[in-house]
Amino acid sequence: MEDKLQPIIGKLEKEFGGTACEYRGEVSLTIPAEKIVAACQQLHDLGFELLSALTAVDYWPQEAPRFHVIYQFTSVTSNLVLTLRVPVPGINPSLPTVSHIYRSANWRERELWDMFGIKFQGHPDLRRILMPADWEGHPLRKDYPLGYEEPQFTFNFEEINQRKPYAKE
Amino acid sequence: MPDIQEITVDDLKHLVSERAIQGETVLLNMGPQHPSTHGVLRLLLELDGEIVVSCVPDIGFLHTGIEKNMEAKTYQKAEVMSDRLDYMNTVGNNLAYSMAVEKLVDLDVPPRAQAIRVILAELTRFQSHLVWLGTSALDLAAMSMFLYCFREREYILDVLEMCSGQRMMTTYIRPGGLWRDVPVEFEAAVRNILKTFPKRVDEYEALLTRNPLMLDRTYGIGKLTGEECLNFGVTGPMLRASGVKWDLRKNRPYSGYEQYEFEIPTRTEGDVYARYLVRLEEMRQALRIVEQALDKLPMGAVRSNNHKYVPPPRSEIGVSMEALIHHFKLWTEGFNAPQGSIYTAIESPRGELGVYLESDGGPKPYRIHWRTPSFDNLSSLPLMSKGVLVADLVAIIGSVDIVLGDVDR
């Protein structure tokens, strides 16, 4: 662990009750969902100006927690990186938004809603971003099949066309 | 699936101002096939005369589910998808992916492979900036720039083809090294580029930098401050044009970048013109790095000897039983990566290209997320385009240097 990161981790651990772990030189801290806004605010004030990435992992069929939401922070001024992980349950997955602290979270949270179905409370504009607005399901969940398209030829074009899923009119 | 989301007009009313509802301003669709949007980007513009009141980007037209697809492939096979993300920076994507896998399984990379990686990554950066320069100048009606830039780009694509057999989708950088060593003609071809290109960059500057039309169209347009950039997650040349000296090649060096001398160009204006100057200087610096790397290119292997993860060379398979077993196992079931998750980032021509990779101990990535720079850079467009003319919006989109494959993944 980098020396400059040590006090920050200690502070976060004390305040938010998380547990820090290190893997291949990267420090990640797991904190409970209700404290994420306060933690983000704290990190923003500590000089982590950049929310580099915001993503999630689905551990289906495990239910509690089914998801981990991962916040990747970068401090440009002190050249540090830090990861926060937030476990989210599978039933009605939701988290408070951090888009008022990091505006880059706006689109990233929309992406997580789109791909994982995790709701972000207080988000100003929670719509699908990559998939069409009327899409069913959340593609990056592990229980969502990868899917394929049946090749259509002249002799079976009509037959396949009938059962082929289309976006609704 | 239970949660089908019905979208009604009322749900979308908050995107535009009250004046649009009353009919005072005009709503106009720009895209998804507008030529100046560099791909399939749709913008919903609210216009007051010719002034943009608000701009709502609509993305996802090029969404190909690359992250989902990669989860279904073994580590070696998944790499092929990475080229298709940001099709202007294919080598950079391979590099980011390979670095992520190497970090996950703790794999060594021989110094020769690292130097070749740097050479190719910088040539690709140059190539990507050429495409940006050509297309964004074309948006500003400088037709000839496009032709000049694409003429030069061919030289770089020729080098990529020489190494990998492919002009764009190279998959040349592999976890643990490279696919194979560079051919003997490589050095002469790169030297030729190093000899001719600096003059060409001067020519571009002569055409554009003091051009009054260029200055009129770009100076003071689309301003972002450094703070806004960071808050919106904007990285790369856009961030550096706003006065923040942040480049992962210098600040968090990877693949041996710390051995090379180069400058990080920055400007403080944060407008379209500053981004142009920063990128142009980056092209010169890229050539500088290539020259240094080529001068001290070490000899030796280009692939790791750890055959648990890296396939053995073809010549060994006929004489070594272990090599045959490794070859067979690696190309059928792949290798099992240890359980864990990592995040690596490189400086792509557009900014921080990050890979979040999580393994459950199996031969396929359990979750791979691409933090693509264009996605975040584009998200600052509504802020930049407030109150500008429609014609200036075209210049601003050009200056963001979006690649829609990178935005939509």
pLDDT in tens, A14-36: 888 777 888 888 888 888 888 88
Q: Is the domain of B32 the same as that of B82?
A: no
**CA–CA min distance B376, chain A (Å):** 6
Least-confidence region, from A62-66, A136-140, B1-5, B118-122: B1-5
**CA–CA min distance B126, chain A (Å):** 24
Query: What ipTM was predicted for this assembly?
Result: 0.86
**CA–CA min distance A77, chain B (Å):** 9
pLDDT tens, position by position, B371-405: 999 999 999 988 988 889 988 888 888 888 888 88
pLDDT tens, position by position, B86-106: 888 899 999 999 999 999 998
**Half-sphere exposure of residue B232: CA atoms within 13 angstroms, side-chain side:** 25
**Integer Cα distance of A152 and A161 in angstroms:** 8
pLDDT-derived band at B113 (thresholds 50, 70, 90) equals: very high
pLDDT at site A111 = 92
Residue B241 has pLDDT above 70, yes or no: yes
* B225 assigned to some structural domain: yes
* A168 assigned to some structural domain: no
pLDDT tens, position by position, B330-377: 888 888 989 989 999 999 999 999 999 999 988 999 999 999 999 999
Contact B251 A79 (CB under 8 A): yes
Contact B1 A140 (CB under 8 A): no
Cβ contact A117:A133 at 8 Å: no
Nearest CA in chain B to A143: B1
Q: Is the domain of B94 the same as that of B16?
A: no
* A169 assigned to some structural domain: no
**CA–CA min distance B153, chain A (Å):** 31
**Axis crossing angle, helix B272-295 with helix B111-139, rounded to the nearest 10:** 150
Mean pLDDT of chain B: 88
A51 interaction partners in chain B (CB closer than 8 Å):
233
pLDDT-derived band at B29 (thresholds 50, 70, 90) equals: confident
Q: Is the domain of B174 the same as that of B116?
A: yes
**CA–CA min distance B15, chain A (Å):** 8
Residue A168 has pLDDT above 60, yes or no: no
- Residue recorded with tokens 């690292």: B114
**Integer Cα distance of B165 and B93 in angstroms:** 17
Contact of B366 with chain A, judged by CB distance below 8 Å, is answered with yes
* B209 assigned to some structural domain: yes
Q: Is the domain of B46 the same as that of B168?
A: no
Report the largest interatomic distance among the alpha carbons of chain A, rounded to a whole angstrom. Answer: 69
Percent of the residues in chain B that have a pLDDT greater than 90, as a whole number: 35
Residue B1 has pLDDT above 50, yes or no: no
Contact A146 B4 (CB under 8 A): no
Give how many domains chain B has, as a whole number: 2
Contact A23 B366 (CB under 8 A): no
Contact A131 B409 (CB under 8 A): no
pLDDT at site A72 = 92
Q: Is the domain of B138 the same as that of B210?
A: yes
pLDDT tens, position by position, B282-296: 999 999 999 999 998
Contact A52 B354 (CB under 8 A): yes
Domain range spanning residue B88? 69-106+109-303+338-408
* Terminal CA-CA length for chain B: 24
Q: Is the domain of B41 the same as that of B139?
A: no
CB nearest to A140's CB, from B67, B233, B375: B67
Helix (H, G, I), strand (E, B) or coil at A84: strand
Cβ contact B104:A25 at 8 Å: no
Domain range spanning residue A52? 5-163
* B327 assigned to some structural domain: no
**Integer Cα distance of B213 and B161 in angstroms:** 37
pLDDT at site A90 = 86
Cα Rg for chain B, rounded, in angstroms? 23
- Residue recorded with tokens 């694509």: B157
CB nearest to B379's CB, from A104, A117, A139: A104
CB nearest to A103's CB, from B15, B231, B366: B231
pLDDT at site B5 = 59
Q: Report the pLDDT averaged over residues B315-338.
A: 90
pLDDT at site A169 = 45
